[in-house]
Amino acid sequence: MRKGIGVSPGVAVGPAYCIHEIFVRPQTRPLEPGEVAGELRRFEKAVKKSLAALRALAQKVASQVGQEQAAVFRAHQAILRDPAFTAKMRQGIEATRQPAEAALHDVLAEYTAIFDRTQDEYLKERLADVRDVILRLSEYLSPMLSADPPAGEGLILVAQELLPSQVVALGEKHLAGIVTQSGGATSHAAILARSRGIPAVSGVRDILRHVTNDDTVVVDGSSGHVVVNPDPETESAYRKLQREYFQLQDVLAENRDVPARLADGEEIELLANINGLADAQAATAVGAAGVGLFRTEYLFLTHPNLPDEEEQLAAYREILAASPRRRITIRTLDLGGDKTIPYLGREREANPFMGWRSIRLSFEHPEFFLTQVRAILQAGAAENAEVRMLFPMITTLEEMRRVRSMVDRARKRLRAEGKAVGRVPLGLMVEVPAAAICIDALLTVVDFISIGSNDLVQYLMAADRDNPKVGHLCQPLSPAVLRVLRRVIESCRKAGKPVTLCGEMAGLPRAFALLMGMGLRSVSMSPALLPGIKELAAQLTAEQARKMFRRAMKLKTTGQVMKYLREELDQLAPNLKLLDSA
Ligand code: PEP
Ligand code: MG
């Protein structure tokens, strides 16, 4: 048995599917002499396809972002056309008789060795371009090199790490569980697993050394345990837990049309976090009151190149129509940190989470940012819809003022163009400590607040949300975090401005109870967690929650707070124990 961090609750048992690395050298036999010519043609075809895709991408980025950003893709085309690169590949296929994928792997290894020897940071960065190009080429050669498990029911994916775009792509596969070596409870891959209701454990050191494909693996996303090839008794015990978890989900699904209330009848608002259309439908299916956070990054991360205004507008309209009660809060692009797209923010930074991310990046690409703002404003004109616009990572008052004036100008221009524009209230995410501390000033320039506790916790505790080594510090129930949250919620109440919390803690039973105790009445979470939280709310009175919060505030350590709340909730709602994670 191995221990990691439970990042998405539930239990799964199934055969392992391991992704060791994107660039694993494929197991291949040497080519027969008669196969060489065909293999060369296959390689050339893949190069042509990659070049065509890169040309289209460069054009689109040039017109929508800028010439400078498009240069990246011209450089990628140049690498593909580079005679030295082509010669090496030909040599690999013709002389060494290797299939193209294997030759590609060896060429990459050779380049990596060369780049490793140089001290020049600029040159080192160029290796990333080579990797990008080789990855693109390899995807055209054979999809097997990307993280693409075979179709099959109930696989447990075991990987070093999952990139957010990979998890999106994996969305169509029927995965039963996910285990990763790196990543923390609020890393974006974990959030995606949670939104799909897939049990997941991250931060399991060296797990790939101990698992091979088709080994039986148990994933307990609640306790963070992973068991490889369990003995029959252990396996059957976990399968029983898995059945119980499914049964609990079925029972909870029945509360979809019941209004969300605390036990004493006070109404609360349970909203859903979504990444795209499928999540919007899931949010409606579980009876969410609306979408509290639409992370639009995934629209960009999954688009083959760059969605323009019309494409974005169409996507927002479609998602709005599928969302519960046609209520949706759309967050503008929040790239950087662990989410990057090649045409924006791709420069390597020593501290990406503290660097050029999110709204900071949007300010430097005003055309790009305004395209999205325009699409959201127009989506807001839909009938019977309530669309709000949310800005991530706002740190200072100046930033929010700047955002407001950009949106106002966009609004005027759209009207001048004769286009319909919705009312669309503007809000900011409180996820930087500076914004939490100066919340009173910020409240004067926004219509609503959404607390992004995932980032707020990592910045308050100076503990990377993606790094399991500091997972013990990146804790939403730490006394420091509770004090900051209480202050923000209290300020919003005094100012009469609506406030929601949309970080992952909203879906954790213990944290939810405390948030209610602080007086918060609106939270947004992965749709898969919403039925459980609705059930917990129905068993918790406002007074009980307040009492718990008062007691918790007297405790000095995170461990004490967690233990105390565990005991309280075990008594209050013993039927919901399985829902707890991290
Ligand atoms: C947050 O930071 O809490 C949040 C909701 O945004 P994200 O997880 O996308 O950074
Ligand atoms: Mg955030």
CB–CB of 545/516 below 8 Å?
yes
Q: What is the pLDDT of residue 182?
A: 83
**Close Cβ partners of 39 (under 8 Å, ≥ 6 residues apart):** 31, 93, 99, 100
Looking up tokens 């989410």 gives 339
Nearest Cα neighbor of 517 from 558, 485, 494 is 485
Q: What is the pLDDT of residue 164?
A: 59
Q: What is the pLDDT of residue 144?
A: 40
* C-beta neighbour count of 240 within 10 angstroms: 11
- Give the position, in ligand 1's atom list, of the atom nearest the Cα of 504: 3
User: Which residue lies with its CA nearest to atom 6 of ligand 1?
Assistant: 452
Pairing of strands 386-391, 327-331: parallel
**Percentage of the residues of the chain whose pLDDT score is greater than 90:** 60
Least distant ligand from the CA of 474: 1
Residue range 546-558: average pLDDT? Answer: 98
* Predicted confidence band of residue 431 (pLDDT cuts 50, 70, 90): very high
Q: What is the pLDDT of residue 251?
A: 84
Instruction: Please give the distance, rounded to the nearest whole angstrom, from the Cα atom of residue 359 to the centre of ligand 1.
Output: 13
**HEC secondary structure over 89-112:** HHHHHHHCCCCHHHHHHHHHHHHH
CA 224, 230, 231, 235 torsion-angle sign: positive
**Close Cβ partners of 57 (under 8 Å, ≥ 6 residues apart):** 73, 305, 306, 343
**Radius of gyration of the chain from its Cα atoms, rounded to whole angstroms:** 25
Looking up tokens 């519960």 gives 324
- Residue 203 corresponds to which tokens in the numbers above? 């931060």
Q: Determine which of 5-19, 38-52, 156-170, 201-215 has the lowest per-residue pLDDT on average.
A: 156-170
User: In what helix (H) or strand (E) does residue 292 lie, and over which residues does it extend?
Assistant: strand 291-295
Domain 33-141, CATH among 1.10.274.10, 3.40.190.10, 3.90.1570.10, 3.40.50.20 = 1.10.274.10
Q: What is the pLDDT of residue 177?
A: 92
- Residue 481 corresponds to which tokens in the numbers above? 């975090």
Domain 2-23+147-250, CATH among 3.40.718.10, 3.50.30.10, 3.40.50.150, 3.20.20.70 = 3.50.30.10
CA dihedral of 204, 158, 221, 278, whole degrees rounded to 10? 140
CATH 1.10.274.10 domain residues, the chain: 33-141
| For ligand 1, mutation pick of 7, 186, 488 (most atoms within 8 Å of CB) | 186
Nearest Cα neighbor of 511 from 309, 520, 69 is 520
Note the pLDDT tens digit of each residue in 497-511. 999 999 999 999 999
Burial class for 35, CB neighbours closer than 10 Å (0-12, 13-18, 19+): middle
Nearest Cα neighbor of 526 from 260, 285, 238 is 285
| For ligand 1, mutation pick of 429, 454, 456, 523 (most atoms within 8 Å of CB) | 454
Q: Determine which of 77-91, 269-283, 348-362 has the lowest per-residue pLDDT on average.
A: 348-362
* Predicted confidence band of residue 418 (pLDDT cuts 50, 70, 90): very high
Instruction: Please give the distance, rounded to the nearest whole angstrom, from the Cα atom of residue 295 to the centre of ligand 1.
Output: 9
CB–CB of 533/569 below 8 Å?
no
End-to-end CA distance of the chain: 17
CA 156, 157, 161, 167 torsion-angle sign: negative
Least distant ligand from the CA of 453: 1
* Predicted confidence band of residue 516 (pLDDT cuts 50, 70, 90): very high
Any residues with Cβ below 6 Å from ligand 1, and which? 191, 293, 295, 334, 431, 452-455, 502-503
Torsions phi, psi for 402 (to 5 deg) = -60, -45
Instruction: Please give the distance, rounded to the nearest whole angstrom, from the Cα atom of residue 84 to the centre of ligand 2.
Output: 43
- Give the position, in ligand 1's atom list, of the atom nearest the Cα of 503: 3
Q: Determine which of 25-39, 182-196, 463-477 has the lowest per-residue pLDDT on average.
A: 182-196
Instruction: Please give the distance, rounded to the nearest whole angstrom, from the Cα atom of residue 136 to the centre of ligand 2.
Output: 29
| Choice among 18, 474, 492, 502 that is catalytic | 502
368 or 375, higher pLDDT? 375
- Residue 88 corresponds to which tokens in the numbers above? 């090496």
Q: Determine which of 236-250, 333-347, 546-560 has the lowest per-residue pLDDT on average.
A: 333-347
Q: What is the pLDDT of residue 426?
A: 98
Torsions phi, psi for 107 (to 5 deg) = -65, -40
Instruction: Please give the distance, rounded to the nearest whole angstrom, from the Cα atom of residue 204 to the centre of ligand 1.
Output: 23
Judged against a pLDDT cut of 80, whether residue 471 lies above it is answered with yes
Pairing of strands 448-451, 499-501: parallel
Instruction: Please give the distance, rounded to the nearest whole angstrom, from the Cα atom of residue 520 to the centre of ligand 1.
Output: 18
User: Which residue lies with its CA nearest to atom 8 of ligand 1?
Assistant: 454
Helix, strand, or coil here: 160? coil
CA–CA separation, 16 and 8 (whole Å): 18
Helix, strand, or coil here: 218? strand
Judged against a pLDDT cut of 60, whether residue 427 lies above it is answered with yes
- Please name the amino acid found at residue 46: A
Q: Determine which of 13-22, 199-208, 337-346, 556-565 has the lowest per-residue pLDDT on average.
A: 337-346
| Exposed e or buried b per residue across 543-552, where buried means at least 16 C-beta atoms within 10 angstroms of its C-beta | ebbeebbeeb
User: Which residue lies with its CA nearest to atom 1 of ligand 1?
Assistant: 452
CA–CA separation, 475 and 471 (whole Å): 7
Give the chain's mean pLDDT.
Answer: 89
Q: What is the pLDDT of residue 245?
A: 86
Helix, strand, or coil here: 55? helix
Judged against a pLDDT cut of 60, whether residue 165 lies above it is answered with no
Complete DSSP assignment for 357-374:
-HHHHHHH-HHHHHHHHH
CATH 3.50.30.10 domain residues, the chain: 2-23+147-250
- Residue 239 is given by DSSP the state H
CATH of domain 254-579: 3.20.20.60
CATH 3.20.20.60 domain residues, the chain: 254-579
CB–CB of 246/41 below 8 Å?
no
Instruction: Please give the distance, rounded to the nearest whole angstrom, from the Cα atom of residue 222 to the centre of ligand 2.
Output: 23
Judged against a pLDDT cut of 60, whether residue 428 lies above it is answered with yes
Q: Is 188 a catalytic residue?
A: yes
CA angle 523, 526, 529 (to 5 degrees): 85
* Predicted confidence band of residue 345 (pLDDT cuts 50, 70, 90): low
| For ligand 1, mutation pick of 298, 301, 502 (most atoms within 8 Å of CB) | 502
User: Which residue lies with its CA nearest to atom 4 of ligand 1?
Assistant: 452
CB–CB of 290/323 below 8 Å?
yes
55 or 386, higher pLDDT? 386
Helix, strand, or coil here: 392? coil
Helix, strand, or coil here: 270? strand
131 or 280, higher pLDDT? 280
CA distances, 422 to each of 273, 405, 446 (Å)? 22, 17, 17
CA 568, 570, 573, 579 torsion-angle sign: positive
- Please name the amino acid found at residue 235: E
230 or 150, higher pLDDT? 230
Judged against a pLDDT cut of 90, whether residue 183 lies above it is answered with no
Note the pLDDT tens digit of each residue in 96-134. 999 898 898 888 888 888 887 877 766 766 777 787 788
| Choice among 18, 76, 105, 188 that is catalytic | 188
User: Which residue lies with its CA nearest to atom 9 of ligand 1?
Assistant: 295
Looking up tokens 């119980």 gives 244
| Exposed e or buried b per residue across 242-252, where buried means at least 16 C-beta atoms within 10 angstroms of its C-beta | beebeebbeeb
CA–CA separation, 521 and 351 (whole Å): 35
| For ligand 1, mutation pick of 271, 429, 460, 474 (most atoms within 8 Å of CB) | 429
